[in-house]
Structure 1
Amino acid sequence: MTVTVIDARSAAQQVEDAEHQRLPHRLYTLIFPLDKTRVLLGMKKRGFGSNKFNGFGGKVEPNESIEQGAIRELREESGLCAQSVDKCGLLFFYFEDDPVVMEVHVFVTREYVGDVQETEEMRPQWFDIHDMPFKQMWADDPRWWPYLLKGQNFAGQFWFKADQVTITHEKLRAL
C-alpha cells in the first residue's frame, strides 16, 4: 500500500478551501484492523455515533501524534494493539450548526496483537470486507470504503445536516 504523508497542520490546506480552513478543527483518528478477508468494526454503545458500526478511533490527545492516537484508541476500544499502521485517508466533516470541523485521519492495520474484547464504549465484531453493514454505519462510509479496499489513498469532505444522517454535499477524490 502506498502511503501519502500529509502533515496534520497542513492537511486542511491540501484539501479544504480558504473558508473552511479558517474554521476551528479538532483532530480525530479512525483505524480499521484487517485480515485477508475481514475487517473488525465496533458497535458504538454510547456518545457520538452510538448505535452505529464504525472503525475504532477518537480524539487525538494533546501530547501524542496522530498515529499514536490511532493506536491508543484501537487498544482502548477493542483490546488489540497495532504493531504498525498505514495512513490511507483524510476526511473532513462539517455538521450544520456546529462551527468545529472534524478532521479525521484514517488508518488500516494488518499487524496487531491481543484478544478482541468488548469495552464500555464498543462491541467489536468481524465482517467480510465485501459485505459491510453500511445500513448501520455513517452515510459517508460506503462512498470512501472502495478506496480503502483498493489500497488507494483518499481525501473527502462531507457536509451533514444537524440530524447527523443526511449528507447535503460531498467532495471525494483519490490522492
Structure 2
Amino acid sequence: MTWATTLAKADGGAPPFVRAVLESGTSPKLLTLVMIDDGKRVLLGHKKRGFGMGYYNGFGGKVEPGETIRQAAERELQEEACIEAVDLREAGVLVFAFDDQPVAWEVHVFAASSFRGEPAETDEMRPVWFNHEDVPFEQMWADDQFWYPLLLRRAYFRGVFAFTQTTQLLWHSLTERDPGDEGCP
C-alpha cells in the first residue's frame, strides 16, 4: 500500500490522521466491492443493516482468512445479491482512512457486465438497477461520485479518501492507473 502513502504525501492536503494511519505499520483491513454494470445500468444494493445502512452501494465485504481477494468478491456477490459474475475484472483499489479508526481500509473494486442468476433481495441488501445518468449519489458514500465515472469508463483507478465522523469526506486523491503499474502515482 506504499502507493497510497505516496499519494497522500504528494497531495500535501491530506489531514494528518491519514498519514498516521497509512504509516502506522498496521496491515489494512481488506475488503471487496463488486459493481455490476451492463453498459447502460448499474446494479446497486440498498444496505438494510450494519455499516452503511441506508446507503446504496456495490456488493462486497471482508476478505476472510484463507480466501483470495477475488474469492471474497465472488462470495460476497453471491451472498448479498444471489448472483455470480461471469466476467469479473479488477477495476481499482480504494483506501479509506477514518479519523476514529486506527486501521485503513483497502477496498478492491471489481466490475462485471454479465452474471448468472437473478438478483434477489437478501437480509443485508436489496438490489436495484439504476441507469448511468440516475445513479443516486446523494444516497451513497461521498467518495462514490469521484471514482464512479472512472468505473463507468472502464478505467482502472486508485484513490485515498479521508473521512471524519465516519461519513463526512474531508479529503481525497484519485488517479487513473495502469492495473499492472506498481510504481509511484
TM-score by structure 2 length?
0.84
Residue 42 of structure 2 aligns to a residue in which SS?
strand
Residue 162 of structure 2 aligns to a residue in which SS?
strand
Letter in 1 for 2:110: F
1:122 aligned to which of 119, 125, 140? 125
Question: In the alignment, which residue of structure 2 is the partner of 1:165?
Answer: 167
More strand by share: 1
Residue 72 of structure 1 aligns to a residue in which SS?
helix
Deviation per residue, 1:146-166 (Å, 9 max, x gap): 11111111100000002x221
Aligned alpha-carbon RMSD (Å):
1.3
Identity of aligned residues (%): 45
| Unpaired runs of at least 5, structure 2 | 7-18, 178-185
Residue 105 of structure 1 aligns to a residue in which SS?
strand
| Unpaired runs of at least 5, structure 1 | 1-11
1:153 aligned to which of 146, 151, 156? 156
Residue 86 of structure 2 aligns to a residue in which SS?
strand
Question: Bigger CA drift: 132-141 or 12-21?
Answer: 12-21
Give distance in 2, aligned partners of 1:71 and 1:110: 14
TM-score by structure 1 length?
0.89
Aligned residue pairs total 163
Give distance in 2, aligned partners of 1:155 and 1:41: 21
Question: In the alignment, which residue of structure 1 is the partner of 2:64?
Answer: 61
Question: In the alignment, which residue of structure 1 is the partner of 2:33?
Answer: 30
Give distance in 1, aligned partners of 2:102 and 2:4: 18
Question: In the alignment, which residue of structure 1 is the partner of 2:13?
Answer: none
Deviation per residue, 1:8-48 (Å, 9 max, x gap): xxxx0233247514233110000011213111100000110
Deviation at 1:111, TM superposition (A): 2.6
Is the 8 Å Cα contact of residues 29 and 105 (structure 2) preserved in structure 1? Answer: yes
Runs ≥4 in structure 1, deviation > 6 angstroms? none
